[in-house]
Amino acid sequence: MSDAEHLAGMWWQVLTTAGWQVPESSLVGWVEELLATMTAAEFDPDAGARVGAGLATAGLRDATVPAVSAGVLFRLAEHTDRPDAAARMATVLATLGTGYHLRRAELLAEPEPETESEQRVKLFRAMFERVSIAVALGNVDGTPLLVNPAFVELLGISTEVQKIAPFDHSHPDDMEEIRTLIFDQLVPARTGTVRLERRTLRADGGTGWSRFAITYLADVGGKDYLMAIGEDVTERRQLQDELHHQARVDALTGLANRRELLERMSAMLTAAGPGDRAGLCFVDLDRFKGINDRFGHRIGDQVLIAVAARLENAVRDRDCVVARLGGDEFVVLILPPVDSEQVGAIGADLLEALADPVAVQGHRLPVSASIGAVVTPVTTTDAETLLEAADVSLYQAKTHAQGKVVLHTLVPPA
């Protein structure tokens, strides 16, 4: 065993006994460096400082490390017969202490490296704060504990998070359903996710639409939580509503189209009670083709728009739906309860609404119509059957009573 290895072993034993850990191989290297400067012709006083800094860098941060080390390293003088051995030894131990304390001070001033757990928390916080999706963590009673900026923006929150009560931002009409989904299903089960797309009341008084997934988080640090992840879907809902509207409105007149009429009729049939009767007036303009042929389709379209407005005004105070099926064909659905007398009166009002000429671009164009009307028990028919029956009445009106109302009353089968 070399002198350096022997002395390093003694040094390692002293440090280990004091509770400090450092690789013995590192100590051998430092002892060799110190022995070299002790015996060199030209003394290097900085060798002690380098070894002291090495001790601090190795993680030995106790201020007594240099003194404890000196109890072993004074033996360095025994390995040289130089007359200045004692002076060199004193310098080496002094600079070792200086180098150690300077490096130790630097290291203590630096922040401690983050643990893996701390790094994960930091990453989660960054994601939570910067993600564009709204995120909220709350108690199982629905009260938010923590929300991210996207959640604040979604709801336009202008108060402290802790003061937000459950459902503060839910539309009143939706509250009961949301309560049922969360507190009667999700919370008792203590697991799972419910998905909602409902109206949202913003802090500024506006109304929007939000879609949320609410997940039950059980036994997180000994407690249970609800986590909500959501997004604003107002624009998408508005687009859907607009497309729905466009698909059910006649582009020329603004009246309901055939699709909307059939949906309204189907809803009426579904909601009807025993004995309810409904009416339908099928309105077809007389000699309208002549207007198109003489004045052109642009004038013809203006006439159709004027006729649509007059038909709507004629039944404005009645429970009716006015629709245009196409061309010069209009339908007026008369919702129950009605009878033959009422349907006949409405048909007469519709004819009366068209009695005066229509003024279009300097022209006064006379317009008349033939009307086929039916009255039927609602529970014994369907939408298409009712339309077909009215069409039959219209055919008879056009054939035998042009400019009049032909009324049929459908009798349920025995």
Residue 164 three-state SS:
coil
How far apart are alpha carbons 309 and 253 in whole angstroms?
8
User: Which among 12, 15, 34, 36 has a CA at the least distance from the CA of 25?
Assistant: 12
- Asked if residues 173 and 179 have their Cβ atoms less than 8 Å apart, the reply is no
Q: How far is CA 133 from CA 195, 199, 364, in A?
A: 15, 17, 61
DSSP code at position 135: E
Cα Rg of the chain, angstroms:
46
Q: How far is CA 404 from CA 37, 83, 161, 191, 352, in A?
A: 127, 140, 68, 68, 10
**105-114: long-range pairs with CB below 8 Å, 24+:** 107/56, 107/57, 107/61, 108/61
- Asked if residues 142 and 162 have their Cβ atoms less than 8 Å apart, the reply is no
How far apart are alpha carbons 237 and 197 in whole angstroms?
10
Token duo for residue 305: 């728009």
Scanning the structure block, which residue is given the tokens 């022209």? 363
Is residue 62 flagged as an active site residue? no
List, in sequence order, every residue forming a beta bridge with 331; answer none if it has no partner.
282, 323
H or E element in which residue 27 lies = helix 24-39
Q: Which residue is catalytic, options 44, 250, 284, 328?
A: 328
List, in sequence order, every residue forming a beta bridge with 320; answer none if it has no partner.
334
Q: Would you mind telling me the total number of residues written for the chain in this entry?
A: 414
- Asked if residues 370 and 286 have their Cβ atoms less than 8 Å apart, the reply is yes
218 backbone dihedrals φ, ψ, rounded to 5° = -95, 140
> Do the bridges between strand 277-285 and strand 369-377 make them parallel or antiparallel, or are there none, so unpaired?
antiparallel
The residues annotated as belonging to the active site are: 328
